[in-house]
């Protein structure tokens, strides 16, 4: 059974990204496929500024949920930002880099978790 705290964090971060107008969010349950994390959240921003703003929003949401990032990289460039919360790894891309690296295709065996804004 999946860790309910990891699920809560993953869905909370996904909600924060959606509230920040992230494009094409995908939340993958990778727990059975890798030891790296339980979930990968993959989203796009419309510009480097938008990607950086999404990173800030996601980090703030993580802290509000009681978790702080263990590692982050790429924020200054705003093309591919990786934020590692341990059980959840967030990938925020600009459109060109998301298309180039196609993480959803790399992890195509991972079940997708529904991501939607709260009512």
CATH of the domain at 40: 3.30.460.10
Which residues constitute the domain of residue 41? 4-113
Q: Is residue 91 part of a domain?
A: yes
User: Could you tell me what percentage of the chain is helix, strand and coil, using 3-state DSSP and rounding each to the nearest 5?
Assistant: 35, 25, 35
pLDDT of residue 119: 65
Dist CA 118 CA 19 (whole Å): 10
Indicate whether 28 pLDDT > 90.
yes
Q: What CA–CA distances, in Å, run from 91 to 1, 51, 119?
A: 24, 10, 25
51 phi/psi in degrees, rounded to 5: -60, -45
Q: How many domains does the chain have?
A: 1
Residue 119: inside a domain: no
| pLDDT attached to residue 38 | 96
Tell me the whole-structure pTM to 2 decimals.
0.94
**Is 79 a member of any domain?**
yes
State pLDDT tens for residues 75-100: 999 999 999 999 999 999 999 999 99
């Amino acid at each position: 059974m999946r860790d309910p705290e990891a699920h809560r964090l993953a869905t909370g971060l996904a909600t924060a990204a959606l509230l920040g107008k992230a494009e094409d969010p995908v939340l993958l349950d990778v727990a059975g496929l890798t030891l790296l994390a339980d979930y990968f959240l993959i989203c796009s921003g419309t510009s480097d500024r938008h990607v950086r703003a999404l990173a800030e929003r996601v980090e703030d949401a993580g802290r509000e949920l009681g978790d702080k990032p263990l590692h982050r990289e790429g924020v200054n460039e705003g093309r591919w930002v990786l934020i590692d919360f341990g059980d959840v790894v967030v990938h925020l891309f600009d459109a060109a880099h998301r298309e180039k690296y196609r993480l959803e295709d790399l992890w195509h065996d991972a079940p997708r978790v529904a991501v939607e804004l709260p009512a």
